[in-house]
């Protein structure tokens, strides 16, 4: 890239100065550099949009497009009632805010994940932290549409695969192995086939594609038949398993 050869006129920089500034801004000392020159680290800017036609997607997912200023270091998604009671916490996740989906419950064809109900107002809060530790948040009020009476698919065409889970039946631990072609937030749940609430076994950010193995502690899980559900950024794969 070529730069102008300004040599010191008012308000201008030399090519060498511009190069040095760009090199500094691109490394991990970004905020230290701003402090040296008396600058202010710009806070990240949150913005939330809902995907169009989300209620008619094949897997009945309701998705949000998370828009930001591109200088966030990590982000967090929370779902709250209109009375600010926390229902779901995505947890701080490194990287750029992208997409968050609320999927259909693998157990009930007429219900959503996290116990959310159709035709009820909720808040989605997107929080961001910049490399300079400045924080901002934005809330969006949404209402989930009723799920179609004809049902919908639990699974889309995922960019990941559940390759193995064992032992089955399981007792005090359950090993889950999967391959993924994409990065994203991976949640692993158990849904009892009878009465009872979903059990979150694991929640972590997968930073790069690859093969993964998780050994999950299931000693506190009651005996019974369950749906084992993996959710990568809202795309669900589920299988049946038994706790003994």
Highest mean pLDDT among 21-25, 71-75, 137-141, 203-207: 137-141
Residues 139-189 have pLDDT tens digits of 999 988 888 766 665 555 568 889 999 999 999 999 999 999 888 888 899
Domain around 106: 47-143
Residue 148 in domain: no
Q: What tens digit of pLDDT does each residue of 219-235 get?
A: 999 999 998 988 887 77
Q: What is the CATH number of the domain that holds 69?
A: 2.60.40.10
Can you list the positions of beta strands (E) in the chain? Answer: 47-50, 62-67, 74-80, 86-89, 93-94, 99-102, 121-129, 135-143, 160-166, 173-180, 184-192, 199-206, 210-217, 224-232, 235-243
Does 29 share its domain with 58? no
Do residues 167 and 234 share a domain? yes
In a domain, 61, yes or no: yes
**Residues 55 and 136 reside in one and the same domain:** yes
Bond from prior residue into 54 cis (ω within 30 degrees of 0): no
Q: Look at the chain and report how many structural domains it folds into.
A: 3
How many angstroms separate the CA atoms of 38 and 67, rounded? 28
Q: How far is CA 66 from each of CA 47, 137, 140, 164, 234, rounded to the nearest angstrom?
A: 6, 12, 11, 32, 14
Say if 153 falls within a structural domain. Answer: no
Please tell me which residue, 127 or 109, carries the higher pLDDT value.
127
Distances in whole angstroms, Cα of residue 187 to Cα of each of 94, 218, 227:
15, 15, 14
The pLDDT, as a whole number, for residue 80 is: 94
Last residue of a domain, one of 143, 169, 184: 143
100 lies in the same domain as 137: yes
pTM: 0.61
Residue 97 has a pLDDT of 80
Same domain, 54 and 30: no
């Amino acid at each position: 890239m070529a730069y102008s050869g300004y040599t010191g006129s008012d308000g201008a920089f030399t090519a060498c100065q511009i190069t040095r500034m760009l090199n500094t801004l691109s490394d991990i000392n970004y905020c230290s550099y701003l402090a040296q020159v008396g600058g202010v680290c710009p806070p990240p800017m949150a913005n939330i949009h809902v995907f169009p036609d989300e209620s008619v997607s094949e897997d009945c997912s309701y998705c949000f497009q998370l828009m930001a200023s591109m200088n966030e270091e990590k982000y967090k998604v929370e779902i709250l009632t209109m009375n600010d009671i926390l229902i779901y916490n995505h947890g701080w996740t490194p990287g750029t805010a992208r997409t968050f989906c609320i999927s259909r419950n693998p157990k009930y064809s007429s219900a959503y994940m996290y116990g959310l109900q159709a035709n009820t107002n909720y808040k989605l809060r997107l929080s961001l932290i910049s490399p300079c530790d400045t924080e901002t948040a934005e809330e969006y009020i949404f209402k989930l549409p009723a799920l179609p009476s004809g049902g919908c698919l639990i699974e889309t065409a995922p960019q990941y695969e559940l390759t193995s889970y064992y032992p089955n039946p399981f007792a005090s631990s359950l090993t889950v192995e999967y391959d993924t072609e994409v990065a994203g937030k991976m949640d692993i749940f158990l849904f009892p086939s009878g009465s009872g609430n979903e059990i979150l076994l694991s929640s972590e950010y997968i930073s790069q594609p690859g093969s993964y193995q998780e050994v999950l502690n299931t000693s506190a899980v009651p005996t019974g038949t369950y749906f084992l559900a993996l959710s990568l950024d809202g795309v669900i794969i589920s299988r049946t398993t038994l706790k003994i």
